[in-house]
């Protein structure tokens, strides 16, 4: 018995912010952003929340799978930008969609979060603990980026993507995931500092920096273009596939240059590496499920095709999953 993706869904904020819009308050240009990232626009939340976007994506995934909220056994939400520290996003989703029978919890593996959620849910289903799961990657990154920093704020967008998975004869074939915590501080964000009456001055002296996301872009680039091909090669060995067997490589949409480099290093044509970063930017944990949903709904994925999903993110975390669609 395997675990298969039976339905997908996604949700985006209504407001689209183009590179031209950002030119109005930052020393940058559409040409500069496109050349370095491949991004032309991104969706930015105005009235939407991480919960509302996640719940909408989940409803669409359930509809696509022909399931009802009460059918769901497990909800795993991947996010680094929840609406609350607690209750967790998955519990908020459970309440919003009425999935009262579901166990619910969150995963924070940043941009690799959806893959970690997929792999975790697969393990639950394969061991017989649950029969199905609703997994979602959802982010409102616009609230944690510094909109005065032209090197980082241009990269990110808001959105959510979800998948309903359940028992099937074939589906997830192999999984590969890992972390390199020693390099974690190349991409980080401080949480609330220690503040209590016993700290000198009322606050811990160890907390330095802002509460915005901070990133060493060059280090992240180097990590991605080496680790992602390695993860893909490892998962192919586990699956018993040749790289030429793969129909689509569905990668985290961090930067078009990263994806081009990975395709070149793997020796595979870029046509096998679909991208939507030009319209959405980097949505962290939402990137892979949103792209999957677009490919699914547009008819570009055929049952029986072989896919490799791969992502990397803060932590540093990374993973790859080989699946039969």
Catalytic residues: 111, 252, 282
Cβ-count burial of 206 within 10 angstroms (0-12 exposed, 13-18 middle, 19+ buried)?
A: exposed
274 and 198 Cβ atoms separated by less than 8 Å: no
């Amino acid at each position: 018995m395997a675990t298969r993706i039976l339905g997908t869904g996604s949700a985006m904020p209504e407001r689209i912010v183009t590179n031209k819009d950002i030119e109005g308050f930052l020393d940058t240009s559409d040409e500069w952003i496109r050349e370095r990232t491949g991004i032309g626009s991104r969706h930015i939340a105005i009235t939407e929340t991480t919960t509302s976007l996640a719940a909408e994506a989940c409803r669409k995934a359930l509809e696509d799978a022909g399931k009802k909220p009460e059918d769901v056994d497990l909800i795993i939400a991947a996010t680094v930008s929840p609406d609350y520290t607690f209750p967790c996003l998955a519990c908020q989703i459970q309440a919003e969609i009425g999935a009262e029978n579901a166990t619910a919890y969150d995963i924070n593996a940043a941009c690799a979060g959806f893959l970690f959620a997929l792999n975790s849910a697969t393990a639950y289903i394969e061991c017989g603990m649950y029969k199905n799961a609703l997994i979602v990657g959802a982010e409102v990154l616009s609230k944690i980026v510094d909109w005065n920093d032209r090197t980082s704020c241009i990269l990110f967008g808001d959105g959510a993507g979800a998948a309903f998975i359940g028992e099937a004869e074939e589906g997830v074939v192999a999984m590969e995931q890992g972390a390199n915590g020693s390099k974690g501080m190349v991409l980080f964000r401080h949480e609330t500092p220690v503040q209590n009456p016993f700290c000198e001055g009322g606050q811990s002296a160890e907390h330095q920096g802002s509460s915005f996301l901070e990133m060493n872009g060059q280090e992240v680039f180097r990590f991605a273009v080496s680790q992602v091909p390695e993860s893909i090669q490892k998962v192919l060995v586990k699956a018993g596939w040749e790289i030429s067997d793969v129909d689509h490589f569905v990668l985290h949409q961090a930067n078009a240059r990263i994806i081009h480099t990975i395709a070149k290093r793997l020796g595979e044509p870029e046509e096998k590496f679909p991208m939507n970063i030009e319209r959405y930017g980097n949505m962290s944990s939402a990137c892979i499920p949103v792209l999957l949903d677009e490919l699914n709904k547009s008819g570009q994925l055929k049952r029986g095709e072989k896919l490799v999903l791969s992502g990397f993110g803060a932590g540093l975390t990374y993973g790859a999953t080989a699946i039969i669609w």
